[in-house]
Every structure is written in C-alpha cells, then in structure tokens.
Amino acid sequence: MGGVVSGILIVSAVIAVGYVAARLRVLGPEVQGALTRTAFYVTNPALLFTVVSGSDIRAALGTDAPLALLSAAAVGLLYCLLSFLFFRRPVAETAVGAMASSYANANNIGIPVSLYAVGTAQHVAPVLLVQILVMAPFYLTVLGLAGGARISWKKLLIQPVANPMIIASGLGAAVALTGWSAPELLQKPIDMLAGGAVPMVLLAFGLSLAGRAPLQKGDGRTETLVATALKLAGMPLIVWALGRFVFGLEGQHLLASVIMAALPTAQNVFLFASPYGRGVTMARDVILCTTVLSAGALLAVAWLLG
C-alpha cells in the first residue's frame, strides 16, 4: 500500500510548507485570505473546468457515480440529523459539517491510492464528477443562501450560476458532452492556472494551522470528531453495504469503491467554507484529523477486502 503512504505524504509536505512559512513569519495571516480567494475565484475554477471537460461523463454515469452520490447523500443526511438532534448548529455550519463528512480527497490522494491499491484510477473520475457537478453546487448554494441574507426565489435561482466554480464545472460538462476541443491558446493558460490550484489550497490550509490549535473545546470539537468518524468509518461501511447488496459489486470493484469512500476529507471543504466565514475552523480540523487517520482506515479496508 505504498500509494496510501505516498499520497498522504505528498499532501502533508505541502501543508507543512505553509505551516512553517507562517510560523517563521515568512507569510502573514493576510496571505491565507489572498490564497483562498485566488483559489476560489481563479485557479480552482480552472482546475474544475479541466477535469470535467476531459472526463467521459456518460461512462461515469454507470455504477460508480450513483453509488458515490447515494453514499454521500446518506452520510450528509446522517450528519444533519445528528446536528439537528444534538449539536443545534445553524444551517451554514451544519452544511459544512455534512460536506466534511462526505467530500473525499479523490484527486490529491485518491488517484495514487487507487493506482497502487487496485491498479487503475478509473474509479476516481465518477467520484470527482459527483462531487464537482452535484455536491459542490449544492453545498455552495446552501452556504450562499445561509450566509446571513434573507432567502428569496431570485437569490435561490441566481446563487448557483453566480459561483465561479459552478460556472466552470458547467462549462466543462458542456465541453465534455459536445466533444468540442478548446483552442490551444485558450486551453494552455487554463491548464497553467489549474496547475496552481492544489498547491495554493494546501498552502492556505497549512497557514491556517499556525493560528489556533485544532480541536479546541469552543471550536466544535464534538462535531469535528463525529464528522471524522463518519468520513473514515461510516462512509466506507455505507458504500460497502450499498455496493455489495444493492449494486452487486464484488472483488476489485467493491474494494476500489470502499477505498474511495475511506479517503480523507478534501481541502476543497476548507476552500468552500472560507469565503463565507462559516464552519471554517471545523472544516480545517476535520481535514487535519481525517488526513492523519486515513492511512489506518485505508489499510484496514485493503486488509479486509483485498
């Protein structure tokens, strides 16, 4: 399982650079905000457009995409139920917790892990497409509507198409479905911007760790631990049950699906929460906890199903 270790080490190394830069005062607190805004409005939309436009959307709508969508919805609803019954958090914070419980780091860690664990990364694309085309627009819309403004039908209709990442995903889907190829003079700059998306988000995340220590009592520690448990244990169990008894998966296909479910929370959850200022600390802590603990979860899945 070298892919598990190498994937986590690569991500952790870039996060550590941001943390050390903040501790040494090479980069100040204002840089974190600049990085997250740049990633949110520029580099991440470029990455999403590149990923979606180069994907086979029709092929991804087979077994893997419905399984990823159903499992993410089940985990998100479970977190919302727990929040309603016990945590009593506002809608925006609950949305961030639900997203942190179900939004996997399929790109940065999922690709190398899938390659080493099952010999192919073909199961990554359906998960990415579900997250980019369904989960991200849904949660961004909820965060936008719950950001303190009064909800109206006009705002409800405008919110999805006013977000740069949703726009980029929609344009990418249109390109993929039509088979149109962007001219090189247009695609090359987009690719260059996309290349900066992942390190920019990881650096911003590392900078945030140099501030307040994680898992503080007043920062939603219980919610963080619940979201972590749902992501690393609850979601893989749900995917196994759905995959085995609903979709009839077996062998390597079932293993690959459960491995994708056991991935840590993606840094995009932190990126999505940051512009709205809601649930940012909890998002940061869940990403940190799941990243640290994911190696054990992934190895356990490989041992049980491999």
- Tens of pLDDT, residues 9-39: 777 788 889 989 998 988 887 888 888 889 8
Report percent pLDDT > 90 for the chain.
Answer: 28
CA distance 74 to 12: 29
**pTM (predicted TM-score):** 0.76
Using one digit for the tens of pLDDT, what is the confidence trace for 93-138? Answer: 999 999 999 999 887 677 667 766 666 666 777 888 888 888 988 8
3-class secondary structure for 58-74?
HHHCCCHHHHHHHHHHH
Nearest to residue 1, comparing CAs of 199, 259, 268?
A: 259
Count of other CB atoms within 10 angstroms of residue 196: 18
Nearest of 6, 17, 5 to residue 201 by alpha carbon = 17
